[in-house]
Structure 1
């Protein structure tokens, strides 16, 4: 496989944050925030400006790649269909956690993944507030990279009994009865929550602070980088129907856990709804 310049990809995410995201944080005007599908699904001027910067830099660095950004897909949903057959694709979420960003909450990130012939081969999550990156290339482990050059290898938390598990359960897109049953089932874990920011949820999981992540809505910019990073940190990652999660899977839900045994227990006792 042709090598990727992952350092250059990391740097362009930092550039977009420095020039377009951070200057607008807590400085958005009324007209700078717009609703997309519903009141909790927002886009801001910062999302769009950051995606323009990232796209220009990616096209210069990897001109052969198909660029698929969250905001570009909002304008042209047909772009999603290009992922499966692309020789090379770069998929970007310019601001993951836009709801938090627009509310002035410092819990948001920038996510990028590289897909080659239908397989995720690299993933990056940049935290503008902490100015560091979580990244992985397939087969090379998951790493926290700090701006001073220090690197720390990530590893998921050891498995624990169900009653002691702490994790993320995203129930927003469940049908009402499934949501009620899942919420009742979740009484059997120690703690569940949602940060409304998959970038930081995957980050916390890969660093060993959570035992599981569960999502029902599968947009590639939300999950490709994070699932690769989690797998490279030792996690067991599958769709809820037990099949492998692929870059062109947009439905079905995914569950990420510390190991296969934990995954099976969570699916059977909590999320098999």
Structure 2
């Protein structure tokens, strides 16, 4: 297995950035420190300053690596092309769950994933308020606060499953069809508005699945490593595996392949609607 930077060192980089730029502003943001990048897409001074710090610290951990950060891409979409290159890429979401952060809720996190040749191989999720850490490395397992997470192999039926069916960014016709079919689930849950919490909830069995419309790589690559090491499945709605090199619409993450099949069959019996 290739030698990647030590997880503890990565955690320290995320913690340092959070302590410097994020935590001091929690429940203390001023009006001029919050902006809207788009509809329902806030950004704060904490996002931007934390990303600058992480871009410097993570690149230094792996010589020759490059960084693709959410806020940098917001300013220059061409930065996404780094994922198509040969250099290892650090994907960075400096404040995942910015809307929760702005609202004073603790459900936000700092996330990074290391992508090599288009494949996510290592990820760290850090929750600054609780100090919770979830880390995973391809072929080496997944851990929550140092305890290894088990591999999920549970059988599943659509009517017994509970998970988030997020249709907010879907075309209206598709959203209506999905909402109607989701009524037959065991329980349709509200999204947590933070992949930093949504993916660990699936990996630990607190939730069975999550359906996403938008698929920006910094949101989902960390979860791809985590679910890959806990027996989960993460595929587009046509059944092909997730890749951070694609931002195609429609992504279903589930705690096991059987769960993925059950949810996909129940919500999209006619296949990929996109």
TM-score by length of 1: 0.94
Residue number in structure 1 paired with 2:216: 219
Query: Deviation at 1:157?
Result: 7.3
Give the Cα separation in 1 of the matches to 2:260 and 2:167. 18
CA contact (8 A) 1:96 1:199 kept: yes
Residue number in structure 2 paired with 1:23: 24
**After the TM superposition, which residues 38-49 of structure 1 pair with which residues of structure 2 at under 5 Å, given as runs?**
38=39, 40-49=40-49
Query: Deviation at 1:216?
Result: 1.5
Gaps of 5+ in 1: none
- Any idea what SS the aligned residue of 1:230 has? helix
User: Which moved further from structure 2: 66-75 or 158-167?
Assistant: 158-167
**Pair 1:17–1:156, CA change in 2 (3 A):** farther
Alignment length, in residue pairs? Answer: 268
Give the Cα separation in 1 of the matches to 2:153 and 2:34. 37
Residue number in structure 1 paired with 2:235: 238
Query: Deviation at 1:154?
Result: 4.3
Residue number in structure 1 paired with 2:50: 50
Residue number in structure 2 paired with 1:99: 99
CA RMSD in angstroms, aligned pairs only = 1.5
CA contact (8 A) 1:236 1:259 kept: yes
**After the TM superposition, which residues 247-262 of structure 1 pair with which residues of structure 2 at under 5 Å, given as runs?**
247-262=244-259
Give the Cα separation in 1 of the matches to 2:29 and 2:255. 39
- Any idea what SS the aligned residue of 1:237 has? strand
Q: Which of 190, 197, 206 is residue 203 of structure 2 equivalent to? A: 206
Query: Deviation at 1:224?
Result: 0.2
Residue number in structure 2 paired with 1:60: 60
Q: Which of 228, 235, 253 is residue 225 of structure 2 equivalent to? A: 228
Gaps of 5+ in 2: none
- Any idea what SS the aligned residue of 2:38 has? coil
